[in-house]
Structure 1
């Protein structure tokens, strides 16, 4: 286990949890652009495995604190995985951005349907979460790309990249 990666993952979880009070209510879901920002940052800097771990830990803590819902699990974890894998394969920020947006905004939203219907007892349409998850993931991913571009200009990105 890489202590540097684990420490940075812990910082990403702390960042996402501490800023979890910032949300945008869109339709039936609370959308957290900070989670998507952290998904891209952790997926790009730490890779897909740690990115999914950060998303899982953040979702678990937020649910435990009452600031999140079960919908956080499929959305954030699928988005973090796709973002990390696409960036790892291409080394392009546009692919990381698209991985998060498509992973969370489409696949995560569709995976949230059975969670909402079966575990939360909500009657929702299959595509009910696509727009809110998509809006949130576009906003958060855009913020993360701007942060990474700024880090690249200051050479900090090369220091923290794993």
Structure 2
């Protein structure tokens, strides 16, 4: 029985990774990835912090390798996904996942991007600490609001609740 549950969890995680990878570049505004925030919040509420974190890491790596996106794909996604999941796990409220995503991506992710981009570009005189914050914050807010509206409907469905039961026992 446990192996059947694990296969279901990995299948759902794989579908979330595929959705994130396909949708993020389609609805991307330069420097902002609101669809990544939509999927981070949805994954956090659906699967919890650890699976949301895995999804964000895998998607970031895929985006960097296959789409040529700089390391901002990594710093922009992992903090928000994990904090959204942690906030949801703690309070079991969809809006808390939204707060976790906005703070994780908009603040922590943007600040973590500065040293990463200094290393990546080899220059620091053209960058300053908050250079990424407005775009990351804008993408996180818009994507999180969309996710919240999506979750209002999804949370009422039997299928969504059944999937949540697999991850939150």
| Structure possessing the higher radius of gyration over alpha carbons | 2
What are the Cα deviations for residues 25-57 of structure 1, in whole angstroms up to 9, with x where unaligned?
2xxxx2111111111111111111110100011
Aligned counterparts of 2:142 and 2:159: Cα–Cα separation in 1: 23
Partner of 1:139: 142
The residue that corresponds to 1:13 in the other structure is 17
Partner residue in 1 for 2:60: 59
Number of residue pairs matched by the alignment: 158
- CA displacement 1:85-106 (0-9 Å, x = unmatched): 0100000111100000000000
Query: Do the aligned residues in 2 keep the contact of 1:51 with 1:84 (CA within 8 Å)?
Result: yes
Q: Deviations over 1:54-112 (max 9, x none)?
A: 00110111111125220111220011110000100000111100000000000110000
Q: CA RMSD in A?
A: 1.4
State the partner residue of 1:111. Answer: 112
The 4+ residue runs of structure 1 with deviation greater than 4 A are none
TM normalised by structure 1 equals 0.91
More off after superposition, 134-143 vs 150-159: 150-159
Structure 1 unaligned regions, length at least 5: none
Query: Where do 5+ consecutive residues of structure 2 fail to align?
Result: none
**1:117-136 Cα deviation digits (max 9, x unpaired):** 11233531101111100000
Q: Does 1:32 align with 2:36?
A: no
SS at match of 2:130: coil
* Deviation for aligned residue 1:5: 1.7
